Amino acid sequence: MKLRIEVDGEEYILDIRSQGGLSEYSLQGAHSAAGAASVAQISAGVFSILLGARSFTVRLAPRGEELEVWTATGQYLISVNDMRDRSGRHKRVAAAGPVQLRAQMPGKVIKLLADKGTIVKAGQGLIVVEAMKMQNEMKSPKEGVVSRINVSEGETVAAGQPLIVVE
Amino acid sequence: MFRKVLVANRGEIAVRVIRCLREMGIGSVAVFSEADRASLHVQMADEAIGIGPAPSSESYLSSERIIEAARKSGAEAIHPGYGFLSENAEFARSCGDAGIRFIGPAWKAIEQMGSKTAARRIAIAAGAPVVPGTEHGIRDYDEARRNASEIGYPVLLKAAAGGGGKGMRRVANESELQAAMREAASEAERAFGSGEIYLEKLIERPRHIEIQVLGDEYGNLIHLGERECSIQRRHQKVIEECPSPLVLAKPELRDQIGQAALRIARAVKYANAGTLEFLVDQHGNFYFLEMNTRLQVEHPVTEWVTGIDLVRWQIRIAAGERLTLHQQDIRWTGSAIECRVYAEDPENNFFPSPGAIAQYVQPSGPGVRVDGGVYAGWTVPIEYDPLLAKLSVWAESRAAAIDRMRRAVSEYSVLGITTNLRLFDRVFADSGFISGELHTAFLDLFMQQPRTVAPDPGCLVAGVLAATLAGAQRPQRVQEVDGSSGLWRAWGRRELVR
């Protein structure tokens, strides 16, 4: 079984098959490795992995579309896709067409800095969002026209929520 | 002693105070805003009273609502924690007027130390060193030139009306002075509506070192040594330790700064726990900055090395007890370090990261203490400070404490929100930190350095395998074409039955 794995945005190919109670794996990518592993689930979101005799505890939880994965000395965002799934995951293209500005964190919209129809430069401030007593001015990803504003001042927004479209 | 105390705070510090009250057999009353109904401090207290909507101006900062809650619950005293109303002289006074003990210094002392300029005058009168500078705004270039050469270059031009770096200019020598004055004044004018500027000696690569003092209402006042708090981001502390590495190199410094701190505290007849902050240059010259008339966030490191429970003493002193500790009996044993675990992303400008905590596992074992205010399943609200918990350790030496901290950090797991825990791994492995060469810009410079620690490939493989297994059990989470994940699911099931 071959799987396409993305770790912190870098692509790996994992080939894995069960063999006599162990999982034989081969991971190809920026850091390649191969061997036999014993994989056991301890409880919801908690795994024990033995690579040879090396013991690892792995904790994970969904984070958006990915899995947030914790180990004692490394933490990653991982997504797993079946190799036969040719639809792939489309990276957001920033250059052409309308670009959606999304909230980076949950917070409150403090101020809108541009009205609908305003012509803006790349890097121009569009909206101020506040969380935990810190204000964040979000800037236009490209030159264009503010074609849509989905929020109003004072509104509470969730992480990833679309705020403004620049076309 | 009090029978019931209200804790006018939230998060980890409310939990810290409630724990102490329970140990003392005193009833605890928590207060909470609408955003904090499910917070840990509410669960841990004996009683809990809602005091209003989420914005702190309508809840934790409302003197009226808090005093009303104290009355209603029959609490005889209020512990303010830090932040919120803890340094509000008017609140302390209102508590007294309502017949409720404020657990902290007299309101008069809070007021005197509340203004930076007034505190500076008190320190000068008490014979404590302050950063040399002009007391008032400078009128013209000639006056600036005279003052600057008296103080000695480099100097810093600062806006009298403001802060946050606006209207601030570093001046290395006289040739730069005139242009810098013009720029600073016009920037200050634009930012604060006043172009008034003053001069201060520039302390290069300063350390932030503070002294803990403890006094009672009968004139007994002692210091409990220093805390080094030079590791900061956005002028907020991130790592604190006692002893300071500078004091380890120059042991006489502890008593020198300690005595200066006591002179200032005595000048305002300080009673209860307080902290005096100093800037210390690389030669060990120290200058008083300001006094915090409350319990400090980083108090656990002092508790570790002195063995003294500061919160317990705050309560005892407020109840009118005498301080039975004497200066000559205070011993500092070993080394303690504290890390502030913030819900923020160091890789993205220390951006806040509130949200739901999916998993939360704290370290434990020898010499480890966690002062936390969070739990798995709880949503960190967007309205308040991003401090989740304080991880502190103690060991026989600074080197052993660093080793212990690295071990503790490796056990600490928070999922669902981003924290600064991974940053600690790197800081404690840094040769500059290990050698104790600290200064307040340390972390800013550290963040600009390229990474030197190579990732552990074993962790990556283990992470990928666990994620693959978890993904196989949650096929709806991944994109798939019909029937494509049969193999994978079968593998996931097989691994599960083990």
The pLDDT tens digits of the residues spanning B370-418 come to 999 999 999 999 999 999 999 999 999 999 999 999 999 999 999 999 9
Query: What's the pLDDT at B162?
Result: 66
Highest-confidence range of A121-130, B114-123, B353-362, B471-480, by mean pLDDT? B353-362
Q: CB under 8 Å, gap of 24 or more: what pairs does A136-144 form?
A: A136/A104, A136/A105, A136/A107, A136/B351, A137/A113, A138/A101, A138/A104, A138/A163, A140/A101, A140/A166, A141/A94, A141/A99, A141/A101, A141/A166, A142/A94, A142/A95, A142/A99, A142/A166, A144/A99, A144/A119, A144/A120
The pLDDT tens digits of the residues spanning B43-65 come to 999 999 999 999 999 999 999 99
Residue (of B472, B453, B469) closest to B461 by Cα position: B469
Q: Considering only CB atoms, which chain B residues are within 8 Å of A51?
A: 458, 461-462
Of all residues in chain B, the percent with pLDDT exceeding 70 is 94
Which helix (H) or strand (E) element contains residue B394?
strand B387-395
Asked if A56's CB is within 8 angstroms of B477's CB, the reply is no
Using the predicted structure, report yes or no on whether residue A88 has a pLDDT greater than 80.
no
Architecture of domain B207-448: 2-Layer Sandwich (3.30)
Q: Considering only CB atoms, which chain B residues are within 8 Å of A159?
A: 355
B466 to chain A, any CB pair closer than 8 A? The answer is yes
Give the DSSP letter string of B47-116: EEEE---SSGGGTTT-HHHHHHHHHHHT-SEEE--SSTTTT-HHHHHHHHHTT-EESSS-HHHHHHHHSH
Give the DSSP letter string of B281-314: -TTS-EEEEEEE-S--TTHHHHHHHH---HHHHH
Exposure string for B193-211, b = 16+ CB within 10 A, e = fewer: eebbbbbbbbbeebbbbbb
* Min distance B249 CA to chain A CA atoms (Å): 32
B383 to chain A, any CB pair closer than 8 A? The answer is yes
Q: Considering only CB atoms, which chain A residues are within 8 Å of B464?
A: 5, 7, 12, 14, 27, 78
Mean pLDDT of B120-143: 90
Q: Considering only CB atoms, which chain A residues are within 8 Å of B413?
A: 59, 70
Ranges in chain B annotated CATH 3.30.1490.20: 141-201
**CATH top class, domain B141-201:** alpha beta
Report the residue of B10, B405, B419, B459 to disrupt the A interface, i.e. the one with the largest count of A CBs within 10 Å. Answer: B459
pTM above 0.95, yes or no: no
Query: What's the pLDDT at A94?
Result: 42
Query: What's the pLDDT at B476?
Result: 45
CATH 3.30.420.40 fits B4-103, yes or no: no
pLDDT band for position A7 (cuts 50, 70, 90): very high
Query: What's the pLDDT at B405?
Result: 98
The CA-CA-CA angle for residues A37, A43, A49, to 5°, reads: 15
The pLDDT tens digits of the residues spanning A21-76 come to 788 999 999 889 999 999 999 999 999 999 999 999 999 999 888 899 999 988 99
Q: Considering only CB atoms, which chain B residues are within 8 Å of A84?
A: 481, 484
CATH 3.30.460.80 fits A2-82, yes or no: no
Are A139 and A125 within 8 A, CB to CB? yes
Query: What's the pLDDT at B486?
Result: 58
* CATH ID of A99-166, from 3.40.50.10490, 2.40.50.100, 1.10.1200.10, 3.90.470.20: 2.40.50.100
Query: What's the pLDDT at B479?
Result: 40
Q: Answer yes or no: B207 catalytic.
A: no
Asked if B469's CB is within 8 angstroms of A27's CB, the reply is no
The Cα B217–Cα B215 span in angstroms is 7
Which member of B294, B316, B369, B398 is catalytic? B294
Residue (of B472, B132, B140) closest to B285 by Cα position: B132
Using the predicted structure, report yes or no on whether residue B497 has a pLDDT greater than 80.
no
Question: Which residue in the block uniquely carries the two structure tokens 């850091």?
Answer: A31
Asked if A27's CB is within 8 angstroms of B359's CB, the reply is no
Residue B200's DSSP bridge partners are B133, B156
Ranges in chain B annotated CATH 3.30.470.20: 207-448
Using the predicted structure, report yes or no on whether residue B154 has a pLDDT greater than 70.
yes
Beta strands (DSSP E) in B91-243 are 101-102, 155-159, 169-171, 197-201, 207-215, 221-233, 236-242
Report the residue of B340, B464, B477, B485 to disrupt the A interface, i.e. the one with the largest count of A CBs within 10 Å. Answer: B464
Residue (of A71, A63, A132) closest to B422 by Cα position: A71
The Cα B334–Cα A43 span in angstroms is 39
Asked if B354's CB is within 8 angstroms of A58's CB, the reply is no
Query: What's the pLDDT at B99?
Result: 97
The Cα B406–Cα B434 span in angstroms is 12
Residue B154's DSSP bridge partners are none
Residue of B463 and B160 predicted with greater confidence = B463
* Min distance A148 CA to chain B CA atoms (Å): 26
CB nearest to A60's CB, from B458, B466, B491: B466
Instruction: List the 326-365 stretch of B: residues with Cβ below 8 A of A.
Output: 343-344, 348, 351-355, 358-359, 361
Ranges in chain A annotated CATH 3.30.700.30: 2-82
